[in-house]
Structure 1
Amino acid sequence: MSAGYHFSIKMSMCFSPLASTVSMATRTQQLAQPKANRLRYPDRRSVHWLDKLPPERTGSTTKIELSHLWSDLCRSKKFHTQVTISPIWKVSERALRAVASERLRSLAQPRAPAAGWQPARPLLAPLSRGTQTAVATSRICQLAQPKRRQVLEGSGHKSKPVPVTHLPSKASAHIELLATPKHNHPKFKGERPVCWPVSRAARNYTASQRLLDLSSPKDRKAPFEGYDPYVVSRIARSAGPSPRIQQLCLPLPRKCSSK
């Protein structure tokens, strides 16, 4: 190492305590200065000013200064007028003399429909000659007739079944059986009337004590009403502890001191 380097290290070691002493003195003088009195204005109305009194108000209202953002927002929007271009424009000479390639010609061809595609059927398809000259059979005429509902003469009497119309001779026995409407059950009494007479026994019946007890509402008591916590029941007074309880009542052997 050079001699100049050793000399600089020695000089720095000599002057470092002096520099630290100067800095300490400056810090001590700074801390020794008294703090500024922030309460020298006793009539202060705001905490935002500390060094001077607020300016006095001359007007009756407060003047609001808008920021640049608020000023920009208050301005009306500018509608940009777009120049409409005519749908007809001039075609260049190069475009007029251009020749389409094979690829462009293939793309310009319309797409062919699918293999199984058929055109849409008309809403009203024409009827065939056979459909127009068809004659309905007796069964179709029978099914076309409206159903005949059975009318009940009285609520408490049996309903009178409507006579079945005679089927044509061509109908089989099975079709005749299926076409016959179902009859009501022999014990069917019809709908029960809304008001019916009450029997004499029901009117003269006297309720028993059990029915009276069941019909009376339950007595609701407040929690702990009539409860005495100091009363000991007879069963608790005559009860005896079990061997397990007597064993648990004894102290632990390790805690018992031998005398």
Structure 2
Amino acid sequence: MFVKNNGIVMTILCFPRQPASTIFMATFTKKLAQPKPNRLRYPDRRSVYWLDRMPPESTGSITKIELTPHWSELCRNKTFYSQVTISPEWAVSGAALRAVPSDRLCALALPPAPAVGWQPERPLLSPLNRGTQTAVATSRICQLAQPKRRPVLEGCSPKSKLLPLTHIPYKASAHIELLATPKHDHPKFEGQRSVCWPVSRAARNCSASHRLLELCGPKKRKALFEGYDPNIVSRAARSASPSPRIQQLCLPLPRKCASN
């Protein structure tokens, strides 16, 4: 832009104003673009704290440690007091013996009075007077002291009749006595077998056949990761035919079949 002032022509350059965010980003980007400082050119510090000035260089190879006053105090041995414990009885001066307490001190020395309406605790066993100990109960009191006899229902239905206690049979019937008798063991019952029993000479000297050894061994099959499929049905199972007994057991019970 050209401006004429008193015959002098001046040139003024105008640039667009940039926002503050753009200036901040440019400064931050410039800061990130700077190379990282080399930490190895500084001498090794003997402390983990930042100091205002560099510590003096030590001539020796061993670091000197200085104890703080608190550490020095903790390093000292504990003081053991060998004084004899003062007796609880001590001499009282004559002034203390002739002292007269004031009215306020006497009022404070009195124990606090109980609250209004407070009653002492009643003893666990209250004492009985002689009349209560020699009293004789009347026939009415003896009658009331007997437990109540509730009537027993004849059945469990709501219309069951009430039976007094005098009509309850006190003797069990023959069928109840038969059911109460314990069961007898079977005549051929031999009881529990002993843990140790004699083994015959033939059983000790027998030798298992090749087929028996083959059946005693575990069944060998491939693992799952080797291609074994547990859902495959064998050819013998697919061509097997059930026996009449198995077919009979597979049928439902006649009492559970619905009649047409």
- With the length of structure 1 as denominator, give the TM-score of the two structures: 0.30
- With the length of structure 2 as denominator, give the TM-score of the two structures: 0.30
